Structure 1
Amino acid sequence: MKTKITLLMFALLCVSTLANAQKKQKALSFISGKISIAKYHEREELNRMNKGELLDLYIERIEVIVNILPNIAFATNSNVTMSTLGIPDTKENRKALVENKEASDVYFENTIEFQKKILPYSDTSDLIAAILFYESTLKSLHTYNDFKSN
């Protein structure tokens, strides 16, 4: 009797393990992290800010650009997954996407570490010009679909 109960419990354990292994993994999106900025600025407004505020704005814009631009051929928002685009959600494709995200995260962390050390030495007018350029680039994302052929 104990043998039958043990075998039954073992069988149930195996079935439950297989059932959990078959569950579909959550779909991964091409873009994750910060994908927008709160506000666009005019030069006069930036001229009134202190350098610390400008550095924060600069870094925030880099974060958005690093998250979006490398994947622009796939998506410009965070809702797009491989399945959305008809890309097979295979183990190899998922691994490639995860590795790409990890590489992007490492790049961003290293860039920000460098920027926080070196950027304070930049000329304020150059910093303002860079922020305006980045904001212009981010605004142009709103017209990205205009370049697609139907």
Structure 2
Amino acid sequence: MKTKLTLFGAIFFIMMSMGHAQEKKVIKKKKNESQSIISGKVNISKYHSREQLDDMTKGELLDLYIERIRVIVNILPNIAFATKPGVTMEDLGIPETKDNVNALEDNIEASDDYFDSTIEFQKKILPYSDTNDLIAAILFYEATLKSLHTYNDFKED
């Protein structure tokens, strides 16, 4: 019985050390990879017509409104760099210095904090909004997001 317990203990510690070694490799790899300028949710599931929105409940409209805010907060502040996820500082020729990487990480964290506090506020106050105003805002946000597809038209070659 003591032999089985010792053998089980040894196998357990070997497995734990192997797992820890794998974790270190993953962490090291993540540190060497360039971080995307745009992260988080960056697309919406569907664009809607006014008629479709008119047929929805206020709860459904609130969910759509929040989804659109999430996408806008993740994309719009960064469109001078990219309009889609996956673009890194390395792709743009930005030196990946410690200061630049920290600035990007701080920006992503600030965007997350802003979104979280905005949504906390929206969930408390937005239900009091007029349904027609909510629908107009969703349509406006969707038009703004659709316009991102034409962003490159504004660039000079």
Code of the aligned partner of 1:97: L
- TM-score, scaled relative to structure 2: 0.80
Identical amino acids, percent of aligned pairs: 73
Number of the residue aligned with 1:30: 37
Scaled by the length of structure 1, what TM-score is found? 0.84
CA distance in 2, matches of 1:70, 1:25: 25
Q: What CA deviation, in whole Å up to 9, does each residue of 1:109-139 have, x standing for no partner?
A: 0000000000000000000000000000000
* TM-superposition CA deviations, 1:41-93 (whole Å, max 9, x none): 00011000000000000000000000000000000011110000000011110
Give structure 1 stretches of 5+ with no counterpart.
1-19
Following TM superposition, by how much is the alpha carbon of 1:38 offset from its aligned partner in structure 2, in angstroms?
1.1
Change (3 A) 1:84 1:51: same
Match of 1:147 in 2: 154
Out of 103, 106, 125, the position equivalent to 1:99 is 106
Within a 5 Å distance, the mapping from 1:59-74 to structure 2 comes to 59-74=66-81
The alignment partner of 1:77 has SS state of coil
How many correspondences in the alignment?
131
Aligned to 1:135: 142
Structure 2 unaligned spans of 5+: 1-26
For 2:95 and 2:63, the matched residues in 1 are separated by 39
Report the counterpart of residue 97 of structure 2 in structure 1. Answer: 90
SS of 1:65's equivalent in the other structure is: helix
Structure 1 segments (4+ residues) deviating >4 Å: none
